[in-house]
Amino acid sequence: MRRLRTLALALVAMALVVPAVTAAATSSDATGHRRTIALRPFDKEDKGQEGGIDDLPDKDATLAELAGLDDGALKIWARQFSEDVAHGLRFVPSQVECTTRHRGSSIDFRLDCDSLLPNDEPDIEVDPTDPNHIVASSNDYDSCCDGFYTSFDGGETWTQGNMSVENAGKIGSDPVSVFEPRTGNVIHASLNYGFTASGFARDGDVVASISTDGGVTWGKPVEVYDGEGTDIAPTQIFNDKEWIVVDTNPASPHYGRAYMMWTRFLSHDGDYAEAPIWESHSDDGGRTWSEAHEISGSASFCDIQYDGPAGECDEDQASVPTIGPDGTVYVSFLNEQNSSIQEPGEGYPNPEDFHDDQYLVVRSEDGGATWSDPVIAASLEDGPRDYPFNVDDRQTLTGYQVRVWAAGNIVADDNGNLFLVWSDNANGEHDTRHPVTNSDIFMVRSTDGGQTWTAPFAVDSSGGDQWFPWVDADPTSGEIAVVYHTRNEANPDLYNTVVARGDGFGAFSYTQVTSQPSDPTRSVFFRAATKGCFPCATFMGDYNRVAYGPDGRIHATWTDMRRPYHGARHGVRFLQFIDYAPLP
């Protein structure tokens, strides 16, 4: 896991945001009203903007100007459009933009229907009481807010819109939604944060927006945990990478309880201090939340310490919860404090100031009131000498510029078995000044409630990089499915998205859910602007998602870069959208 001492915009994988586009944005499978901006050809002279808010383009910026902005500038620039939606309200309400329908014979199709501007980092959830009711979400770059997609017909038709945020000065990011069957609410978890006039991040809150109509309209966000301070304040608390899960088992003692976890970054005068995992829960459909508390615990194997008590496991990220059939809550997260797994050049300190990760798991058997100390589930090969770095000094894959990380997730099946997935470069050329990636998807399994774990085994042993895995369990059969990206084409510039299926104890079968490959080396947005890879994308989110419905049907979402934009002067460039595919 990459540690950052400064919590400025590079810290978080939050959405780039821009106002809605029309004109060339209209597609044959989409209906709805959209705004317009000017489109014109762009080329290598369109570069990123620097400076404060006053230096950014105005509202009628062209696509070329937007494509040339970096992520921080885009986030700040787009905030002005929130005021148009808020209409003087104390929060920015949700807004339906358009509808898209599945047309044609291919299994996969684009969910986005609002603009040419990007979407990434998708989530998808299926109503545990209705297999035709699905809610997805993403980082939506044509609004201030998270994007949502809601279907009531099993994924054939989707309503797309923008999520509510706390106020017109805030931006939404890291979206994830859940169904709470006891109240019938849909709860959307998000990060809401703002900026100072100088462009520093501030007031990064964890929030929950609630829908009582199945995910079409969303209320004013409820603050779950308050962030404070700016990137350069004497004390800053900035919350990141929240995730949420609901206990949907009517036999559980905590049926209907929603649990939210996140990383609580603490810094002083811009210097990073700690990043433990925190938790809060709700018993009323997300309207009120318990007092938040730290849950990542302490252990002797957390012996690399930058700030705080010895043994405290507080250098964490990527927490994801799951719930066993008896109501036990398990949380997996990355931690980089184990000195025993560091190779030469990766210990404390090192020039890159981060280390090989271990995957830790904690559990609660009393509804989140108390938590166990962490257990090591796996050790990873993802340190500063294990991957190449991109132009933004983030880890990437050989021949790419897009940032990657190891994070995956944990899931419990109906028998209480636990499965944890991630990606790393254990099978590539690592622990060298010039690493070469062969990133693979790995899994470990526990059959004793997370006390012990198997040795890692590969989900897919084929060649080429694989990254951004996510696992889910079928409530009807015990089958598990893992979605991930893979460079399985003869041309290594291209990637596809695959779903692997099995019981987690034996071999997997594989279904490629993309009908065409994606090309992140010729991107319209997030361009690296570096020699030899000028149009390479530097960002495509941090994860994909797969979810089973109560009928055993699989629903997969991912970030897709197959669709060309022909307005570039130097050849075809590709746009970035969310695609979806169901599997029986």
Helix (H), strand (E), coil (C) string for 281-294: EECCCCCCCCCCEE
In sequence order, the β-bridge partners of residue 458 are: 442
Q: Is the pLDDT of residue 540 over 80?
A: yes
Report the CATH number at residue 516. 2.120.10.10
| Among the listed residues 202, 213, 194, 182, the one whose alpha carbon sits nearest the alpha carbon of residue 80 | 194
Assigned domain for 402 exists: yes
The tens digit of pLDDT for each residue in 117-155 reads 899 999 999 999 999 999 999 999 888 889 999 999 999
Q: How confident is the model at residue 87 (pLDDT cuts 50, 70, 90)?
A: low
In sequence order, the β-bridge partners of residue 495 are: 518
The reported pLDDT for the residue numbered 50 is 36
Q: Is the pLDDT of residue 15 over 90?
A: no
The tens digit of pLDDT for each residue in 326-359 reads 999 999 999 999 999 999 989 888 877 899 999 9
Q: Is the pLDDT of residue 77 over 80?
A: no
Q: Is the pLDDT of residue 20 over 50?
A: no
The reported pLDDT for the residue numbered 60 is 77
* Helix, strand, coil percent content, the chain, rounded in steps of 5: 5, 40, 55
Lowest mean pLDDT among 32-46, 152-166, 278-292, 406-420: 32-46
If you average pLDDT over residues 173-177, what whole number do you get?
Answer: 96
Do the bridges between strand 95-101 and strand 157-162 make them parallel or antiparallel, or are there none, so unpaired? antiparallel
Lowest mean pLDDT among 187-201, 241-255, 322-336, 448-462: 187-201
Q: Is the pLDDT of residue 47 over 80?
A: no
Q: Is the pLDDT of residue 41 over 70?
A: no
Assigned domain for 19 exists: yes
Residue type, 282: S
Q: How far apart are CA 49 and CA 361, in angstroms?
A: 42
Three-class SS of residue 80? helix
Q: Is the pLDDT of residue 6 over 70?
A: no
The reported pLDDT for the residue numbered 197 is 76
Q: Is the pLDDT of residue 189 over 80?
A: yes
Give the residue, 132 or 200, on which the prediction is more confident. 132
Torsion of CA 500, 504, 507, 511, to 10 degrees: -10
Assigned domain for 177 exists: yes
* Residue 552: how many other CB atoms lie within 10 Å: 14
Q: How far apart are CA 329 and CA 323, in angstroms?
A: 5
Q: What is the DSSP letter of 18?
A: -
The reported pLDDT for the residue numbered 30 is 37
Assigned domain for 143 exists: yes
Contacts of 407 (CB under 8 A, 6+ apart): 317, 318, 334, 422, 542, 543
If you average pLDDT over residues 27-47, what whole number do you get?
Answer: 34
Task: Show the domain range for 257.
Answer: 9-305+312-337+359-583
Q: How confident is the model at residue 22 (pLDDT cuts 50, 70, 90)?
A: very low
Percent of the chain with pLDDT over 70: 87
Assigned domain for 460 exists: yes
Assigned domain for 347 exists: no
If you average pLDDT over residues 412-425, what whole number do you get?
Answer: 98
How many separate domains does the chain show? 1
The reported pLDDT for the residue numbered 114 is 85
Assigned domain for 331 exists: yes
